[in-house]
Chains A and B, each alone.
Chain A
Amino acid sequence: MPFLEVFVEEDAECPRCGKLIPKLRKICNDLNVPFYVRLLSTKSVAAYASDSVSRTFDPEWIKQFGLPEHKMKLKELTPILEMFKKYNLKSFPNLVIRWHDGRRMKEIVIRGYDESNEKANKQFLANLYLLLKVVKEVVYRR
């Protein structure tokens, strides 16, 4: 059974999420890919559900899987990262593209969004469109 979906983890009060979602919805409608939104803010029902990004801010995670640049800065940033963990701080929006390649689930997670730079924004949407198109072709090939 082919499986491909796109979702955004958002906070209702986050202005960037509100700008990103209509654009993504348009792309997904165009390509006929399922798209939905997960509300994960501290005020939502799913406040204790973990998002797909905050675990990457954990010092333990960075020690094991982080890039060498992150590991170099880990000592300086540990107090901030500990504070993130203590107060359950999350960053929004997180865009997740998830599919099953026949053997296991695979995910691409993109953290953050910035609308101020129009050129970069266009490139970002073009990249996403291309990626989704290719992934869709691969997933529905079987």
Chain B
Amino acid sequence: MDAAGSGPGAERPLRAGPLWLLAELTYRCPLHCAFCYNPLDYTAYGPELATDEWLRVLREARALGAVQLGLSGGEPLLRDDVAILVAEARRLGFYTNLITSGVGLDTKRIRAFADAGLDHIQLSFQDSTRELNDFLSSTRTFDLKLRVARLIKEHGYPMVLNVVLHRLNIDHVEQILQMAEALGAEYVELANTQYYGWGFLNRDRLLPTREQLARAEAATQRFRDRVGNRIRVFFVVPDYYEKRPKPCMNGWGSVFLTVAPDGTALPCHAARMLPGLAFPNVREVSLRAAWHDSEGFNRYRGDAWMRQPCRTCPEKTRDFGGCRCQAYLLSGDAANADPVCDLSPHHDVVVRAIANAQTASVGVSPIEFRDDRNSRRLRSSDPLLSQ
């Protein structure tokens, strides 16, 4: 960082607070999805915030201007204080989104959430078939998810289905959309895997081919043409197939704030893997200080940190140089341009990953499921974690 007190950047800019608070209530999860973006070493992090600490986080975030709240994880329903947090969030004026696998949601709890003022439940499916859903999550949860979907509908919530796409299920997009329609969904998110955490570990088994992607996009378009605006379908492409990077988090420390289960405040849910960057903990500092004054949030704000080709690129105000975590994972340095950009000197890494996806077969190496045993093993052996 530049020394404080000199130059035009020395005064604190008039900066807005976050609009989004993602509260990752726990890293514990009954599912073991191979594409999970949680950190590989999630078993290494200390005790979860207590209910009172989360209530303070909610109040401080709302005072900063945050208005959208995501309750996520792991599986947030593994905590028994979710209704308490929802009630306080509603009182504060948050729009509250529960992001869940459905495991742990029953009639009694969904009623309690409705009474507390929960606005929306996003339910994940792994596939339209029981076989693949249960394989990918390494659990028997497909029938449970169908029951939960009906429960959500019965209680008058907007139905938002989220399905993470990858090589193993992307050919089922048509059936997935038919399932969503049959369940009465208002929104469907077909979100291609983002390659962080466990998703990155399994990338060569998960990245779809270009042909698969084209077929899935065509199937999505046919569905949109048929149902009109009755069901909104968001199709998130895998950014490896783009020529320009995504405007990750709409810019570092711009609108998005994550609080991890142990209280670490982060500019995005993947950022804690970046080496040499300290992030504040809400047990030690206020959320206001974390957002405005911490090195972790200030390091990649604005564009003073950028190198070429970003520094002089006219598109830097649109994509902010892409994703810092992806820059680190693919080029070894988070301050580089996101290698997804075809102007990046490291773009060949992405080209090779795509070429590999066209030829690799699923059987080449086994999928690593996200579970405590694998996390502990990877903590002691994986070079990604020992850097």
Same complex: no
Chain B contact residues, CB within 8 Å of chain A: none
Chain A contact residues, CB within 8 Å of chain B: none
